[in-house]
Each structure stands twice: as C-alpha cells, then as structure tokens.
Amino acid sequence: MIEVKLGGVFMSIKKVTTEADLQLAFDFRRKVFIEEQQVPEVEEYDEFDSLQAPCDHILVYYKEQPVGTGRLRVVEGYGKLERICIVEEFRKFGLGKEIIIGLEQIARDNGLTKAKLNAQSYAEGFYEKLGYKREGEEFMDCGIPHILMKKYW
C-alpha cells in the first residue's frame, strides 16, 4: 500500500488482490463510465477484468474510504493506464494524480520505462501536467472524444 498525506488527510493506493476489492473497482467504473458517461456495459468490461488476467488493478482510498480505481496492462512495451476513475464527490482532491503515480510506480517496478493512455480529450491538460504528451489525432471511443498520450522516464 502507498500512503500519501493530502491537505492533512491520508489517502492510500492499494493493489487489488481479492474478489471483493475487484468488485469495488467494478462498482466505481459502473458509476462513472456506465451511469455518468453512458458507456455501454459491453464496452466497459473485458477479458482483463479478473484477478488472473495479466494486469494490475488498484483502488484509491480517501480517509480510509475507497473512492476510485485504475488498471495497468503491458501493451507493446508500454505500461498502459486504463479505467481510471474517481467517484464524483471525491474529484478535485488530487486523487487522480495519485492514481497515475501509483500505476506508473507499478510499471517501473515491472521494469517498464514508458507509459501510454487513451485520455478523454477534456483531460488533456491534467495529463500534460503529469508529463504526458499527446500523439496523433483525436478519436472517438464509446462516443467520447479521446487522444493518445505517452510518457517516457
């Protein structure tokens, strides 16, 4: 578990290792992507959504309450950051940045030297502040504009 103090409040990031924690991650994704953003359920869940899949899921906690999630896979030599979300009432506390840092650390721990993600276009500035650079043109994914962004370390 990674712990960080934000504004006097402890938050932490934990790798998902149990079915119960994986279900929490799915609940957050359902709330954010399916309910808020209207992503079709069939598009949201895939073959990497199990504890046995070759990827890592994490949960972010704020004041010991789970409030968000993210996933990391290795794709073409990159750590691919995916399914990053925080429930609405906990946005703007800096937790998104901590999810990215946590996923990048897992990538580094696995010997990777670069990361990529398909960012929703409105979040480009957020990822730029974390060192990501846009590559290519905007594209649509599940009816939402996205851009490919990459980072090297």
Q: Which residues pair with 109 in a beta bridge?
A: none
Q: Which residues pair with 71 in a beta bridge?
A: 57, 82
Query: In whole numbers, what is the pLDDT of the chain averaged over residues?
Result: 93
Map tokens 């960080």 to a residue: 4
Q: Cα separation of 108 and 120, whole Å?
A: 24
What pLDDT shows up at residue 11? 82
pLDDT for 61-94, tens place per residue? 988 899 999 999 999 999 999 999 999 999 988 8
CATH dotted code for 2-152: 3.40.630.30
pLDDT for 2-56, tens place per residue? 655 555 557 889 999 999 999 999 999 999 999 999 999 999 999 999 999 999 9
